[in-house]
Amino acid sequence: MTLSRRIQRGAALQIAARLFSAVANFVLSAVLLARLLPEGEFGLYQFYLTLFLLASTLVDFGVNQAAVKLVAAGSGKVEQVIAAAIRIKLLTGLLFALGLMTLAWLVEPAGGARLLLILAALHTLGHSLGAASIGFEAEVRFLVPALGVVLGHALFLLAGVLLYLLHVQVAAFYLAAWGGGLVAQNLFVFVTALRRGRIRMRVERTVCLGLLREALPLGVALMAAALYFHMDTIMLRPLRGEAEVARYAVAYRLMTVGLLVPALFMQVVFPVLSRCHERSAELLKIVLARSTFYLALIGGIVAAVLLVLAPELLTLAFGASYRDAATPLRILALAMLSIFLCYPHSMSLIAAGRSADFTRITLSAALFNLLLNLFLIPGFGAEGAALATLVTELFVMVSSMVCLYRARGISGASARLLGPAALFLVLLLSGALWPAPRSLWLALPMLLGLALFGMLALGALPFRIGVEQEQLE
């Protein structure tokens, strides 16, 4: 199988698995529990689920990405790096577990529900087992990690539906089911890797320290990114009230669904970027340019659909009462397009060993976003928060491009982006000329049909990454 086919397959598997997890969470949280749990219990569920999701991101602390970079670049044996990653994530998982358990112990009333929340907090320890996916990711083979995601969320959905049918109205039971599903997901990947002889429990101290040094700037960058991703929603409530939070949240949720594509696509391409960096700047430039082309194309299509059909999509997903969130959604659609263009450059920056540059960019972005929100939210509400997000993402995109060009003299920006830009404008013009009132079920297929025709005309299909395995060996 060619490298391009492996990347295409890996990205498809990752996106399909994450979509399944998103659907499972939506069906249980939004469709079932919102109708079953009392308001207080549903609020408790959402509060701890948000904390669990944030902990899941921060427990990694950049370890997986740093480990994949080391393995893909040939800087360490796979078994040694995986063992080091397991040890580091076991420590961070323990710290977060203790924090979550302490919170539940101090805040929640004594009883079985508190004990269940404490038990659910232990899911962070399971992330150490998930480090076994590093070997598969470094080889651009994502079937096992994708199956793990599907298995874990299928078990969570099954347990949740069973509790729902039993009419259980205690949020802690569902949170324990979520934690159990995540542990099952990571355990599946670990056992599969163990059977294939990829796990070694003994590891040299120097390997652990080397991985930790590589991961540290990435971990700080992840925390800064998480901060500015969620800062606007947090600040809206004290500055403008709950109604503006709701308007912004529904728009933001639709935008973040689209962000699955660049995040998962670049997760698959990242090992290739790391290997290209070790071989030559020319190979890195080829993969960067092709990745930027594809993400500009897909990002332009998704952004155009959101810009044209914002009111209709909001009505479909959240009801007519949220139709007036169309303006924030349209601003966020442009921010999303900026993120699509930024991902290849930020990942190339990390692959080129410039993690410290990326950390400085994200820390600056967090401070910049804070100041923008303080200035824009009081006067403009959800629209101001969306505009702050757009300006911040443009800052991160331009900064990443400039830093990468200074470091390696390469950029993904080229004349090839004129094609995606032209298709984006055609889709916008087609939507603008569509007579009102618009039917979502007629306009959406028309836009997607035009998008497919444009991709074929621009030579985007079949998918080609521009280098092959022999060039990287």
* Residues 138 and 237 both lie in one domain: no
* Residues 312 and 454 both lie in one domain: yes
Domain-embedded: residue 473: no
* Residues 164 and 299 both lie in one domain: no
Tell me how far apart the alpha carbons of residues 25 and 468 are, in angstroms, rounded to a whole number. 38
pLDDT surpassing 60 at residue 270: yes
pLDDT at 302: 94
pLDDT band of residue 168 (cuts 50, 70, 90) is confident
pLDDT band of residue 328 (cuts 50, 70, 90) is very high
Cβ neighbours for 92, distance < 8 A, ≥ 6 positions apart: 58, 59, 60, 61, 63, 124, 127
Of 57-66, 172-181, 227-236, highest mean pLDDT: 172-181
* Residue 187 · residue 132 · CB < 8 Å: no
pLDDT at 200: 67
Name the 3-class secondary structure at 440. Answer: helix
pLDDT band of residue 252 (cuts 50, 70, 90) is confident
* Residues 292 and 437 both lie in one domain: yes
Percentage of the chain modeled with pLDDT above 70: 92
Domain-embedded: residue 211: no
* Residues 430 and 393 both lie in one domain: yes
Domain-embedded: residue 232: yes
pLDDT at 424: 95
pTM of the model: 0.78
pLDDT band of residue 336 (cuts 50, 70, 90) is very high
Domain boundary among 203, 237, 272: 203
* Residues 154 and 252 both lie in one domain: no
Query: How far apart are the two ends of the chain, measured CA to CA in Å?
Result: 16
Q: Considering its fold, how many domains does the chain have in total?
A: 2
Angle subtended by helix axes 78-107 and 112-121, to nearest 10: 160
Domain-embedded: residue 103: yes
Tell me how far apart the alpha carbons of residues 312 and 46 are, in angstroms, rounded to a whole number. 27
* Predicted confidence (pLDDT) per residue in 196-236, tens digit: 766 666 777 777 777 788 888 877 887 787 777 777 777 77
Tell me how far apart the alpha carbons of residues 251 and 248 are, in angstroms, rounded to a whole number. 5
Residue (of 221, 258, 471, 465) closest to 346 by Cα position: 221
pLDDT surpassing 90 at residue 239: no
Domain-embedded: residue 451: yes
* Residues 175 and 34 both lie in one domain: yes
* Residue 65 · residue 269 · CB < 8 Å: no
- How many other CB atoms sit within 10 Å of the CB of residue 446? 15
pLDDT surpassing 60 at residue 76: no
Tell me how far apart the alpha carbons of residues 284 and 278 are, in angstroms, rounded to a whole number. 9
Domain boundary among 154, 178, 203: 203
* Residues 180 and 257 both lie in one domain: no
Domain-embedded: residue 210: no
pLDDT surpassing 60 at residue 375: yes
Tell which wins on pLDDT, 199 or 439: 439
pLDDT at 34: 63
3-state DSSP of 318-337: HCHHHHHHHHHHHHHHHHHH
Residue (of 6, 2, 8) closest to 461 by Cα position: 8
Tell me how far apart the alpha carbons of residues 132 and 148 are, in angstroms, rounded to a whole number. 11
* Residues 112 and 229 both lie in one domain: no
Domain-embedded: residue 230: yes
pLDDT surpassing 70 at residue 1: no
Tell which wins on pLDDT, 309 or 41: 309
Q: Which residues of 245-259 are buried (b: 16+ CB within 10 A; e: fewer)?
A: bbbbbbbbebbebbb
Mean pLDDT of all residues in the chain?
Answer: 83
Token pair 């120097």 is at which residue? 206
* Residues 133 and 238 both lie in one domain: no
* Residues 264 and 412 both lie in one domain: yes
Task: Determine if residue 438 is left, alpha or beta; phi over 0 gives left, psi from -120 to 50 gives alpha, anything else beta.
Answer: beta
pLDDT, average across residues 53-62: 79
Among 78-82, 113-117, 141-145, 153-157, the least confident range: 78-82
Of 111-125, 191-205, 214-228, 388-402, highest mean pLDDT: 388-402
pLDDT at 469: 66
* Predicted confidence (pLDDT) per residue in 424-438, tens digit: 999 999 888 877 677
Domain boundary among 168, 203, 238: 203
pLDDT, average across residues 264-283: 81
Rg of the chain, C-alpha, whole Å: 22
* Residues 247 and 313 both lie in one domain: yes
Domain-embedded: residue 472: no
pLDDT at 470: 63
Q: Which residues of 93-111 are buried (b: 16+ CB within 10 A; e: fewer)?
A: beebbeebbeebeeebeee
Tell me how far apart the alpha carbons of residues 237 and 252 are, in angstroms, rounded to a whole number. 15
* Residue 211 · residue 78 · CB < 8 Å: no
Domain span including residue 143: 1-203
Token pair 């669904």 is at which residue? 257
Structure tokens at 267: 């997760």
* Predicted confidence (pLDDT) per residue in 286-318, tens digit: 889 999 999 999 999 999 999 999 998 888 876
pLDDT surpassing 70 at residue 30: no
